[in-house]
Amino acid sequence: MKTQFGTILVEIILFIVAGIAAYIFVSTAYNNLNGISNAAIANSQSLQNQLNTYITLDSCAYNNTTNLLYFYVTNRGSIVLNQNLTLLFINGKLINTTRIYIANSYTGTSAWGPYDTIAIVANISVTTDFYHVRIVASTGAYTQNLVYVNTTSSTCTVV
């Protein structure tokens, strides 16, 4: 009788331990799956914003007395962009000496809305040559163009 009671007691304890272990496993799996699901939702939202972002480099200008290179970029997508997070790369090098302002606004706000044009002003010394320009929007979408700068005639042309 004593061994049967001990066996039943051990089985009850093992059943309780198995239940606790199953609860821990299920709650951990749920939390992990919930985290993965939330990350996938955030990633798809980021991808959707990137797909809805379309920017174009419309024109450029160069002032040889001030060494200022101007790039006029239009937001042709449906997403409002943060112009202050826009990056300028020339020949693969990040240009940190830039000022960015809204040059033409259809929305009438200080944000870079659809069909608004920003001016990116780079204080950079260049020579007469072709330059690979990449402008990256706040969503990660970018436009990439070849521009020709003529320092003698103080001109810049998007090729």
- pTM of the prediction? 0.73
Does residue 110 share a domain with residue 34?
no
Residue 139 burial class via C-beta count within 10 angstroms: exposed 0-12, middle 13-18, buried 19 and up: buried
Does residue 63 share a domain with residue 46?
no
Does residue 112 share a domain with residue 129?
yes
Structure tokens at 39: 């990350």
Does residue 132 share a domain with residue 77?
yes
Distances (CA, A) of 34 to 22, 29, 43, 48: 18, 8, 14, 21
User: Would you state the pLDDT for residue 145?
Assistant: 98
Residue 104 belongs to domain with CATH number: 2.60.40
Does residue 70 share a domain with residue 20?
no
The predicted-structure confidence for 39-75, as pLDDT tens digits, reads as follows 877 777 777 777 789 999 999 999 999 999 999 999 9
Does residue 45 share a domain with residue 71?
no
Does residue 71 share a domain with residue 46?
no
User: Would you state the pLDDT for residue 129?
Assistant: 97
User: Would you state the pLDDT for residue 37?
Assistant: 84
Half-sphere exposure of 59 (CA within 13 A, CB side): 5
Q: What are the residue ranges in the chain where pLDDT is below 70?
A: 1-3, 5
| Amino acid at position 116, single letter | D
Q: d(Cα 23, Cα 17) in Å, to the nearest integer?
A: 10
Q: Note down the domain range covering 2.
A: 1-51
Judge whether 122 and 63 are in contact, CB under 8 Å: no
Does residue 62 share a domain with residue 120?
yes
Does residue 10 share a domain with residue 85?
no
| Three-state DSSP state, 29 | helix
Report how many domains make up the chain: 2
Does residue 124 share a domain with residue 101?
yes
Could you give the maximum distance between any two Cα atoms of the chain, in Å?
Answer: 108
Structure tokens at 61: 């200008």
Does residue 91 share a domain with residue 75?
yes
Does residue 59 share a domain with residue 47?
no
